[in-house]
Amino acid sequence: MRERAQQEQDRRLTRVLPLLVPVVPAVVALMLWLGRVPLNAWSVAGVAASAVPPLVLVIEFFRVRGKDRHWLRAPLALGVEPERRKEVLARVRAGQAVAEQDQVIAVDVARRALQRKPVTYGSAAPVGFLIVARLLSGEFLPADVVFYLIFVGMIVVVSLNQREVRCAENWLAQHAPKVSRRGR
C-alpha cells in the first residue's frame, strides 16, 4: 500500500511541480502590471527572482525523489481505492470508528491534518500582515484587489483547516488514544 501511495504522489507531483516555475513569475508580473509599476531593471529582477523558490522546490523534489524522506512520504490514503479513501476521510471528519484494516490509514490521515496546522498559520500570517499594511497605507491601487481576494481565500483556508484539525484531534482522542496528538 505504501509503494502504491508513493507512486501516486510521485506521478502527481511530477506533473504539477514543474508548472510552478512559469506560473509564479507570471502571477508576479500580472500583479506588477495591475499595480502600474513601471518596467525597469528592478521590476524585471523581481519577476525573475520570483522564479527561484519554485525552481528550488522542483530541483529538490527531483533530487530526493525515491529516497525515504519524511516530508516527502506519500499519504497512505493515496494507496487505496478512491471510494475507500473517501469513506476513511469522511469517517475521520465525522469522528466515527473505521474498519480494522483502515485504522492505519485513518491514523495517517489524522496525523497529517495536525501537521498542516503550523504551515497554514505560518503562511496566513504574512498575508494578513500585507493586507493590514495595504489598508493602513491609505491608498488604493488596482492590484490591491488581488491582495483582498488572497486574504479572503486565506480566511477560508484557515477556517477549513481549523475544522479539519479539530476533527483530527477528536478522532485521535477517541479512536487512537496511544497516538500522540501533536502528529508525531
pLDDT band at 65 (very low <50, low <70, confident <90, very high): low
Q: Is the pLDDT assigned to residue 183 strictly greater than 60?
A: no
Question: Domain check: are 105 and 173 in the same one?
Answer: yes
Q: End of a domain among 39, 74, 109? A: 74
Task: Tell me the pTM.
Answer: 0.57
Average pLDDT of the chain is: 77
Question: Domain check: are 85 and 66 in the same one?
Answer: no
pLDDT band at 99 (very low <50, low <70, confident <90, very high): confident
Q: End of a domain among 30, 49, 74? A: 74
Percent above pLDDT 70 for the chain: 83
Question: Domain check: are 55 and 135 in the same one?
Answer: no
pLDDT tens digits along 117-148: 877 777 777 777 777 777 777 777 777 787 78
d(CA 151, CA 29): 19
Question: Angle at Cα 124 formed by Cα 63 and Cα 163, nearest 5°?
Answer: 100
Q: Is the pLDDT assigned to residue 1 strictly greater than 80?
A: no
Range of the domain at 149: 80-184
Question: Angle at Cα 154 formed by Cα 53 and Cα 56, nearest 5°?
Answer: 10
pLDDT at 179: 46
CB-CB contact of 97 with 175 (8 Å):
yes
d(CA 167, CA 88): 13
Averaged pLDDT for residues 155-169: 90
Q: Is the pLDDT assigned to residue 177 strictly greater than 70?
A: no
Question: Domain check: are 60 and 87 in the same one?
Answer: no
Residue carrying C-alpha cell 531593471: 41
Where is pLDDT greater, at 175 or 4?
A: 175
